[in-house]
Amino acid sequence: MHIELIIGNELHPQEIAEFAVAAEKAGVRTLWNSNLSDAYDPFMGLVPAAQATSRIRLGVLALSPYEMHPLKIAYALGTLNELSNGRAQIGLGGGGAMALFIRNDNNLDFKKMRIVRGVREAAEIIYRVTSGDFWPAYHGEVFSMSRPFKTTFMKAPRPQIHACSMGPQMLRMGGRVADGLQVGDVVPGRVPEVMTDINAGLAKREYPAEDFRIGNFWAWHIKQDREKSLHEARCKLFSRAEMLHPYIGLDHLLPPDEQQIVKDNFQNMLMADITGSGEIKGMAPELVQKIIDQVCSAGDLDNLDHEIARFKEMEANGITDLAFRVFDDPFDSLEIIAEHVVPQFQSA
């Protein structure tokens, strides 16, 4: 298993380049730049990093074709790929922060949006455009391109397309058509269930999967200061996958009565971050800590042995890339990860 890193809106593009250089030196396989509603453009934010590094892969996630047409995604991805000499990749999903942000109703109706079909068609369009080959017009049920096309400027090896998937249908679709998958906040005990769906998709591929990657987005809060770490974990708890509708994986964490408490208090979890208080009203501190202990890595350096054992379990069950989302003080987090975690796994 390789280690990857995910950054949010904490860094200026020039700082991202510095971070990428340090991550590459540490043996990190991929640096992912988050697609957020209050951040630099994720593709342009990686341009200085592309120019400053030579090995580390550079990716954007999660980007939805419902916020940006697949053709435009393909051109942005292809441009970053040329600038990085073939090291670019995309995490393609149906939802995500931006897709939700631009909607009038603040709600994503995945069934109405037909996200499984839509993301599959988007992946097929992006694949064709970034291949540099000639292709006829593409007439999908959700996304289309009305003319034949050939992108003559793309010379580097094709960028990688990863499906950001959580539900069974999305996992199977990603296994069937993508270069890899990025799942989110999957606790060690649920990895075998997820792998069953991924393998079902892989079995139906029309062409072989070369070095198919299975990444797990994982929140990293470990710091020298335990209380600061736990405060950050409480603030960001609202964004863990199990806390979000349709609550995939929540049943692995809690009994039904505590699941309902989580569902009833999402707004309070969100306000804990917005206000910076770290206080989640309506949920007992013991319940909050019970969840944190399962869905992320938090605490001080004394927690590292326990966390590494959990990572090893993920690896044993099929995860190929563990992608740590770092938050405040990302350079400090990188230093801890580089010293204590990367040496336990494969170095890029």
Domain positions in the chain: 2-224+301-344, 226-299
β-bridge pairing 160-164 and 144-145: unpaired
Q: Is the dihedral of CA 43, 49, 54, 57 positive or negative?
A: negative
pLDDT of residue 105: 53
Domain 2-224+301-344 class, CATH top level: alpha beta
d(CA 208, CA 123): 16
Amino acid of residue 292: I
How far is it, in rounded angstroms, from Cα 14 to Cα 30?
17
What local confidence, expressed as pLDDT, does residue 207 receive?
Answer: 84
- For the question of whether the overall pTM of this predicted structure is more than 0.85, the answer is yes
Residue 132 CA to residue 152 CA, distance in Å, equals: 6
Which pLDDT score is estimated for 101?
52
Residues of the chain with pLDDT under 50: 98
Question: What stretches of the chain show up as alpha helix (H) in DSSP?
Answer: 13-26, 47-52, 70-83, 97-101, 110-113, 115-131, 168-177, 191-202, 226-235, 256-264, 266-274, 285-295, 304-316, 330-340
Of 34, 24, 37, 29, the closest CA to residue 2 belongs to: 29
Helices H / strands E in the chain, number of each: 14, 11
Task: Give the strand pairing for 138-139 and 144-145.
Answer: antiparallel
Q: Tell me which H or E stretch contains 7.
A: strand 2-7
* Residue 160 CA: distances (Å) to CA of 147, 209, 228, 271, 306: 24, 12, 36, 36, 33
pLDDT at 108: 59
Q: Identify the pLDDT of residue 184.
A: 95
